[in-house]
């Protein structure tokens, strides 16, 4: 275990008068029973000289409702034999608090292929974020540019404008084939982020349009706006900040989907003027049988 160190997000905390504690990536504090080992020696062993009791947060007490006591520590114990330090290292490893050199880092999107379409102001930051999280990105101009034999795991389409009539009709069929489908677009000063659809029955762009039409008394005007019966959009387009925020939210949706937590039925709106975000639950529209005469 000589190549093991603390995992990302894990920290050792030397608590005055209490000994050693570990802060988990979730922010929980656990007391460490160091046995006959001195806390300084444990810190040295688990950080290999990259941490010290003086900079592990000695001012932060390991107490409170989120703390879990696992036994007393021994702050004044003499140096313990290597076997005791290895026992503690093995306990940390078994709890998932150590990372091993050479293991490599796998981001939450590792092994996932993400096809990205749309306007550069949004697709460029999204591409960077997806790759930073371990995903493979394929850029395309049209859905037909994606080869069928190497179909992506999910398609993300970003527009810095309203959605042209019928543009996303074909993409709405992707979830029925097991391909994820995520999209966003802009209408004036508002960016709309629709929920990721990954299976039959999930919310599609057509569902969102129908729900939005049903929720406004100006449904005729909104339908005409979408159909293109409007003057040119002279409102503020995405800035670097609003595009980065939008790309971050989309990346978070992708990470949740990759972790099996997809399917959140929420429609989000980003106000490009002050970057505030609000969300509303949106449900798929049930299929209706055709009228008979």
- The pLDDT averaged over each successive group of 10 residues in the chain (293 residues) is 74 91 93 88 78 40 36 41 83 87 75 96 97 95 79 96 94 94 96 96 94 93 89 83 98 95 87 96 82 63
CB 20 within 8 A of CB 80: no
The residues, ordered by sequence, that sit 6+ positions from 161 with a Cβ below 8 Å of its Cβ are: 119, 185, 186, 233
| C-alpha span between 259 and 257 (Å, rounded) | 5
Burial string for 228-238 (b: 16+ CB within 10 Å, else e) reads eeeeeeeeeeb
The pLDDT of residue 77 = 40
Q: Is the pTM of this model over 0.95?
A: no
CATH 3.30.1360.120 fits 113-281, yes or no: no
Strand ranges (DSSP E) for 147-288? 154-158, 180-187, 190-197, 266-271, 277-281
| C-alpha span between 129 and 244 (Å, rounded) | 9
Give residue limits of the domains in the chain.
4-100, 113-281
| CA–centroid distance for 31 within its chain | 30
CB 79 within 8 A of CB 41: yes
Give the full edge-to-edge strand order of the sheet including 29-31. 11-15, 19-23, 29-31, 67-68
The pLDDT of residue 146 = 82
Residue 13: strand, helix, or coil: strand
Tell me which H or E stretch contains 117: strand 113-118
**Closest to 93 measured CA to CA, from 3, 21, 190:** 3
| CA–centroid distance for 215 within its chain | 29
CB 32 within 8 A of CB 45: no
Q: Helices 39-47 and 82-94 meet at what angle, rounded to 10? A: 60
The pLDDT of residue 73 = 39
Running DSSP on this structure, what letter comes out for residue 133? T
Residue 269: strand, helix, or coil: strand
> In the structure encoding, which two tokens stand for residue 204, read together?
């599609």
The pLDDT of residue 69 = 32
Tell me which H or E stretch contains 14: strand 11-15
């Amino acid at each position: 275990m000589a190549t093991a160190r603390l995992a990302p997000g894990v920290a050792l905390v030397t608590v005055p008068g209490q000994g050693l504690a570990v802060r988990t990536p979730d922010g929980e504090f656990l007391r460490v029973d160091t046995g006959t080992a001195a806390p300084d020696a444990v810190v040295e062993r688990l950080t290999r000289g990259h941490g010290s009791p003086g900079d592990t947060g000695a001012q932060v007490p390991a107490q409170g409702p989120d703390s879990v006591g696992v036994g007393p520590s021994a702050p004044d114990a003499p140096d313990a034999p290597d076997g005791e330090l290895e026992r503690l290292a093995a306990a940390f490893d078994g709890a998932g608090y150590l990372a091993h050199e050479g293991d490599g880092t796998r981001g939450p999107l590792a092994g996932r292929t993400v096809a990205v379409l749309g306007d550069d102001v949004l697709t460029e930051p999204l591409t960077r974020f997806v790759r930073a999280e371990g995903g493979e990105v394929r850029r395309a101009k049209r859905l037909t540019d994606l080869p069928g034999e190497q179909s992506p795991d999910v398609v993300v389409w970003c527009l810095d404008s309203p959605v042209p009539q019928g543009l996303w009709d074909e993409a709405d069929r992707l979830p029925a084939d097991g391909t994820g489908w995520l999209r966003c677009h802009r209408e004036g000063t508002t960016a709309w982020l629709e929920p990721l659809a990954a299976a039959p029955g999930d919310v599609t762009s057509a569902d969102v349009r129908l729900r939005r039409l049903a929720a406004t008394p100006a449904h005729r005007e909104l339908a005409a706006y979408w159909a293109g019966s409007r003057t040119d959009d002279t409102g503020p387009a995405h800035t670097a900040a609003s595009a980065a925020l939008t790309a971050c939210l989309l990346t978070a949706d992708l990470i949740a989907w990759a972790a099996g937590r997809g399917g959140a039925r929420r429609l989000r709106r980003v106000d490009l003027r002050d970057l505030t975000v609000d969300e509303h639950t949106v449900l798929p529209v049930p299929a209706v049988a055709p009228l008979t005469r």
